[in-house]
Copies of this chain bind each other. A is one copy, B any other.
Amino acid sequence: MPIYKIAVLPGDGIGKEVMPEAIKVLDTVGHLCGIRFDYTHFDWSCETWLKTGQMMPEDGMCRLAQNDAILLGAVGYPGVPDHLSLWGLLLKIRREFDQYVNLRPVRLLPGIPCPLANKKPGDVDFWIVRENVEGEYSQVGGRFAEGTEAEGVVQSAVFTKFGTDRILRYAFELSRKLGRPHVTSATKSNGLYHSMPYWDERFAAIGAEYLDVRMDQYHIDILAARFVMSPERFDVVVGSNLFGDILSDLGPGMTGTIAVAPSANINPEKKYPSMFEPVHGSAPDIFGQNIANPIGQIWAASMMLDHLGEAEAAALILKAMTDVLSTQSAPRTPDMGGLAGTSDVGSAIAKALTS
């Protein structure tokens, strides 16, 4: 029986409420498929920061490294500046474990109220591949002329050939693997003078290695509009760290799945553990009420199983999740128009697995 070592990091806010539901579902599917999980729980969070000035202890990364995968809840809480909490935990792990791929599905699911008109499940179904460790997210830069009228700040984005090429290649490979050989690149080469013309150049160069894959590209402004206007046209969309971030919230937003969508931070070479989290944040405004939707965390657990090579177990979770979503009488959290609690939804999905 395979045993996977899982680092469990609920983090802040509703991360703490949705995580137990994912564990519940993982344990159930493990039982069904003969897989065991060996969890190590880490309570690192903004509370840690308030106590110690750090988001994790000195040996934090070393302790995480001993696991096969990381399941993360959410990071960030009022009282700790966002850039300090995020760069001290989420972004730190992405970078130090070279999780250079962020992979997120945009999928219209049954039973979910969708803000778009005239769309049904199946109409919208594509993947966003986001560069996850460089680009616009950078600590290069700083403040100048502080305290004077000339004050200002420089923020430098750094794109390397190494980092750009490998994410583009991942997108092309994925589109082949999915049997949907079509990659759309997010750019802004008309406005961003240095970075995006370079991105376009590399997209053309890497694309030339994949003659069977159709390529197109849009500036990020019109691409955001086209997501909403004609989401059917996408298969795999590849973008920089910032553009991928924006598109992969917009996608779930427009399909009504912000609380449902997962986010996989992948080190494809498996040199380091990969990390799986819901797209949603720590939602301080609803924390503590047992109303957070646990489905994003559960779907993240399914993506984790996929990454670990347990495709069957991953698919079972996805099916149980979809079954519950399409059952009108099944429990739903308030964000989906229901009155159920976080744990009711988790239990319903666990139960659907065994029925």
Contacts and interface: CB of A to CB of B under 8 A. Distances in A.
A153 B162 CA distance: 11
Nearest to A188: B242
A252 B281 contact: no
B245 A191 contact: yes
Number of copies of chain A assembled together: 2
A290 B141 CA distance: 48
A103 to B, nearest CB: 16
A46 to B, nearest CB: 12
A321 B85 CA distance: 50
Contacts of A115: 116-117, 228-229
A191 B91 contact: yes
Given A198-B143, A229-B253, A149 B161 contact: yes
A154 B198 CA distance: 10
Given A136-B192, A246-B220, A151 B160 contact: yes
Nearest to A220: B246
28 contacts: A82-B190, A83-B196, A85-B190, A91-B191, A114-B117, A137-B192, A149-B161, A150-B161, A152-B164, A153-B158, A153-B198, A154-B195, A155-B156, A155-B194, A155-B195, A156-B156, A156-B157, A191-B242, A220-B245, A221-B245, A222-B249, A222-B258, A222-B281, A224-B246, A224-B250, A225-B253, A225-B258, A226-B253
Interface of A: 76, 81-83, 85-87, 91, 114-118, 136-143, 149-164, 188-198, 220-222, 224-226, 228-229, 241-242, 245-246, 248-250, 252-254, 256, 258, 281
